[in-house]
Amino acid sequence: MTPTAHGKDALPGSLLEQLSDARILVLNWRDVRHPQAGGAEQYMHQIACRWAAAGAQVTWLTARHPGQPKQETVDGIEIRRAGGPLTLYPRVALRLMRSIGRIDYIVDCQNGIPFFSPLFVAPAVPVVQLVHHVHQDQFATRFGPMLAAVGRFLEGRVARRVYRGRPIAAVSPSTRHELRRRLRFRGPIHVVPNGTGPVPALRALRDPNPAITVVSRLVPHKRINLLLAQLVATAAAVPGLRVDIVGDGPELPRLRQLADDLALGSVVTFHGYRSDTDRDELLGRAWLTTVTSAAEGWGCSIIEAAAHGVPTLAMRVPGIRDSVVPERTGWLVDDEATFGAAMVTALRDLADATRAREITDACHAWARCFDWDRSAELLAGVLLDAAARATGHRRDRSTRSDIAAVARFARPEGWSETAGELRPIDQVVVEKGRVSLLLPGCDEVDAAVALSRLGVTPAEIRLAEQYELLTGPAGMPAVLGYGYATTQDGSIAS
């Protein structure tokens, strides 16, 4: 059973039902039909269309690219477009000030510069800032020194003041870490991971010869040039190696020239944009995929490859390091200079049929931990919790918002009556008479107190691991087989 968030209803209960008829405003500089839309837009669209299907009135305010209609409905989402990349912001501010009393929730998507929506709505309106990754280092790659400094100032000091106390949804633990370390946000930050599409049945065959398939937009920060440079030594050490690069972008001509200069023409094939069917066929034949990005919010291509049983070799950078379970679903590299040697080691490891099958099974189980229905539930829980906080109906369990505890116990009699003590951000799985919980803001002692209020004793309790913040309380045992510290009489086991 897929882990879900839980609200006030009896288990397993859908938080989406609690958003039925709610008026939700999504602020994002692009929508899913913008020609430059990427993973951030897909993330919010997948979630918003599920909210709309549950009965919520979802309106998406965004910039208008030339040729796009001013207004249209896409998958139940009312999209309203006006302004360009910068003029959008004052237009949204005016719209917010004119919408007093007509907004129940706001999702403020931060793409470097947030919309600063708390300045233009009443304090009681729940605002959740959605962050995929921190842009402090990227401003300098897109703007001159003055504008880059302004961008860093707005994303950091100004946003920290405007959103003080407002909850943030981060797509990965490393994004949350960067928000704490780089931007010094101190309010609650909830991890709401990406979902993925349907996980196909495990592939029957892979290529007999070593094959790497890379699916990526060909833009500078993906650093495909780093991969090509490292492939020279790898191809010499791995006979018969083939590398398929699927994707398009402004870097394609330069990368093709670089591959020719490095004499990789017989090894590397640039396929450009391909249909999902063609992309999946290439992934299904691959032994390995690679990611050389400098940083990401989350590794969407990593999970897509894992769904086909394909492990990943990647740099250990924010976002990416959360998407790979080292030695189980792939490998992480610390030094760019050793990436080629790591490719050789990984391919030799995968040449062993038993080891390859073990990794394939782990990848498949890992990919099944992520789906858009669960992501929609989790972000709905953050909205509902924000509403309770805004009205004073909810107190924090503790100030340790980045700590979480997991607990397992037999489902007690009358659970449906006592489950109302749980919070919208709590995650619950019920399977075969057993309940698994993930309780944000709790250590083992806090969790034991919370469970005692629910009339639950004994229970198995321990601190949540990094990956459980992504998969929920029941996902990781399928990949890693994590155990629990058991309490026999309600006390905490050491």
pLDDT, mean over the chain: 86
What would the mean pLDDT of 145-150 be, rounded to a whole number?
85
Is residue 239 domain-shared with residue 356, that is, in the same domain?
Answer: yes
Q: Which amino acid is at 244?
A: D
Please classify residue 394 by burial: count the beta carbons closer than 10 Å to its beta carbon, then call 0-12 exposed, 13-18 middle and 19+ buried: middle
- Looking at the fold, whether 302 and 254 belong to one and the same domain comes out as yes
Q: What pLDDT score was predicted for residue 420?
A: 62
Give the pTM. Answer: 0.87
Number of structural domains the chain divides into: 3
CA distances from 167 to 107, 121, 129, 157, 242 (A): 10, 16, 7, 17, 46
Are the C-beta atoms of residues 30 and 447 closer than 8 Å to each other?
A: no
Residue 266 backbone phi and psi in degrees, to 5: -85, -5
Among residues 325, 349, 367, the one where a domain terminates is 367
Pair of tokens at residue 219: 């833009």
Is residue 223, in this structure, part of any structural domain at all?
A: yes
> What's the pLDDT tens digit per position in 433-465?
888 899 998 888 888 888 888 888 778 898 988
Tokens of 187: 């309010």
Three-state DSSP class for residue 272: strand
Please say whether the beta carbons of 437 and 473 come within 8 A.
yes
Q: Quick one: angle between helices 353-367 and 300-307, nearest 10? A: 120
Looking at the domain assignment, is residue 204 inside a domain? no
489 and 346: one domain?
Answer: no
Model confidence at 415, pLDDT cuts 50, 70, 90, reads low
Q: Give all strands of the β-sheet with 127-131 in edge-to-edge order.
A: 71-74, 77-81, 57-62, 23-27, 105-110, 127-131, 168-170, 189-191
**Interatomic CA distance for residues 58 and 167, integer angstroms:** 20
Q: Exposure pattern of 299-331 as b/e (b: 16+ CB <10 Å)?
A: bbbbbbbbbbbbbbbbbebbbbbbbbbeebbbb
The answer to the question of residue 376 being in a domain is no
Tokens for 135, please give them.
């842009």
343 or 434, greater pLDDT: 343
- Domain annotation covers residue 379: no
Mapping DSSP to helix (H, G, I), strand (E, B) and coil, where does residue 197 land?
Answer: coil
187 and 215 in a single domain? The answer is no
* 200 domain-assigned: no
Q: What is the CATH number of the domain that holds 291?
A: 3.40.50.2000
Verify that 241 and 156 share a domain, yes or no. Answer: no
d(CA 248, CA 411): 51
Output the pLDDT for position 422: 81
Q: So what's the pLDDT on residue 392? A: 66
Do 258 and 168 lie in one domain? The reply is no
Helix and strand numbers (H, E) in the chain are 18, 19
Do 292 and 404 belong together in one domain? no
Q: Are residues 102 and 223 located together in one domain of the fold?
A: no
* 62-87 confidence digits (pLDDT tens): 999 999 999 999 999 999 999 988 89
What are the tokens at 212? 């790497």
Q: Specify if 163 maps to a domain.
A: yes
Please give the Cα distance from 483 to 480 (Å, whole number): 9
In a domain, 434, yes or no: yes
Task: Encode pLDDT of 364-402 as tens digits.
Answer: 989 989 999 999 999 999 999 899 877 766 555 544 668
Rg of the chain over CA atoms, in angstroms?
A: 23
Residues 310 and 402 occupy one common structural domain: no
- Could you tell me the CA-to-CA distances from 449 to 402, 455, 490 in Å, in that order? 18, 10, 9
Q: How far is residue 27 from each of residues 109, 205, 390, measured CA to CA in Å?
A: 6, 44, 20
Domain interval for residue 184: 4-191
Verify that 12 and 159 share a domain, yes or no.
yes
pLDDT digits (tens, 9 = 90+) for 107-116: 999 988 889 9
Tell me, what CATH number does 447's domain have? 3.30.70
According to DSSP, residue 10 is labeled: S
- 390 part of a folded domain: no
Distances (CA, A) of 477 to 226, 346, 465, 471, 481: 35, 24, 11, 10, 4
Q: Can you tell me the mean pLDDT for 414-439?
A: 78
For residue 132, report the phi and psi dihedrals to the nearest 5 degrees.
-90, -45
Whether residues 9 and 125 share a domain: the answer is yes
Q: Read off the DSSP letter of residue 284.
A: H
Residue 203 has pLDDT above 50, yes or no: yes
DSSP string over 98-135: TTTTS-SEEEEEEBSB---GGGSS-TTS-EEEEES---
Backbone angles phi, psi at 313, to 5 degrees: -105, 125
* Residue 3: pLDDT band with limits 50, 70, 90: very low
pLDDT tens digits along 353-373: 999 999 999 999 899 899 999
The rounded distance, in Å, linking the Cα atoms of 286 and 492 is 46
Give tens-digit pLDDT for 240-271: 999 999 999 899 999 999 999 999 999 999 99
> In this model, does residue 341 exceed pLDDT 80?
yes
187 and 217, same domain (yes or no): no
- Are 172 and 191 in contact by the 8 Å Cβ rule? The answer is yes
